[in-house]
Structure 1
Amino acid sequence: MDALSLLLERRSQPRLSGPAPEGEALENIKQAALRAPDHAALTPWQFIVCQGKGRERLGNIFEQSAIENGKTDKEIERAPQLPLRAPMVIVAIAKYHENPKVPRVEQIASAGCAVMAMQMAAQAQGFNGIWRTGAYAQCEVVRNALNLAEDDELVGFLYLGTPVTSAPTPAKKAADEFFSHWS
Structure 2
Amino acid sequence: MKEKYNVEELNKIMLHRRSIYPYQYEKGKQIPDEVIWQILENANRAPNHKQTEPWRFTVFTGEGLLYFGELQAAIYKQYSGDLFNEDRHKKLIDYPLMSSHIIAIGMKRNETNKLPEIEEIEAVACAVQNMFLTVTAYGLGSYWTTAGITYFKEAKPHFHLDEKDKLLGFFYIGYVAKPLISPSKRKPVQEKVNWVNRHNTF
Matched, 1:162 2:179: no
In the other structure, the counterpart of 1:34 is: 44
Q: Percent identity?
A: 26
For normalisation by structure 1, the TM-score amounts to 0.89
Checking the alignment, whether the CA contact within 8 Å between 1:20 and 1:160 is kept in structure 2 is no
| 1:78 shift after superposition | 2.2
Structure 1 runs (4+) deviating above 6 angstroms are: none
| 1:111 shift after superposition | 0.9
Secondary structure, in 3 states, of the residue corresponding to 1:65? helix
Secondary structure, in 3 states, of the residue corresponding to 2:164? coil
Change in 2 beyond 3 A, CA 1:2/1:115: same
| 1:144 shift after superposition | 3.6
- Structure with max Cα Rg: 2
Give unmatched runs, 5+ long, in structure 1.
Answer: none
The 5-angstrom pairing of residues 66-85 of structure 1 reads 66-68=76-78, 69-70=80-81, 71-85=84-98
| 1:23 shift after superposition | 4.2
Task: Name the stretch that deviates more: 99-108 or 44-53.
Answer: 99-108
**Distance in 2 of aligned mates of 1:75 and 1:174:** 36
Matched, 1:48 2:46: no
Task: Name the stretch that deviates more: 18-27 or 79-88.
Answer: 18-27
**Distance in 1 of aligned mates of 2:114 and 2:10:** 31
The 5-angstrom pairing of residues 115-154 of structure 1 reads 115-154=128-167
State the one-letter code of the partner of 1:117.
Answer: N
| 1:157 shift after superposition | 0.7
Checking the alignment, whether the CA contact within 8 Å between 1:16 and 1:85 is kept in structure 2 is yes
Checking the alignment, whether the CA contact within 8 Å between 1:64 and 1:141 is kept in structure 2 is no
Task: Name the stretch that deviates more: 128-137 or 172-181.
Answer: 172-181
**Distance in 2 of aligned mates of 1:132 and 1:26:** 18
Give unmatched runs, 5+ long, in structure 2.
Answer: 1-7, 198-202
Instruction: Name the Cα RMSD after superposition.
Output: 1.9
Secondary structure, in 3 states, of the residue corresponding to 1:136? coil
Change in 2 beyond 3 A, CA 1:74/1:128: closer
Match 1:57 to one of 57, 64, 67: 67
Checking the alignment, whether the CA contact within 8 Å between 2:109 and 2:165 is kept in structure 1 is yes
* Alpha-carbon displacement from aligned partner over 1:21-61 (angstroms, at most 9, x marks no partner): 32432222111011001221111111011001211121122
Match 1:3 to one of 4, 10, 18: 10
Matched, 1:96 2:109: yes
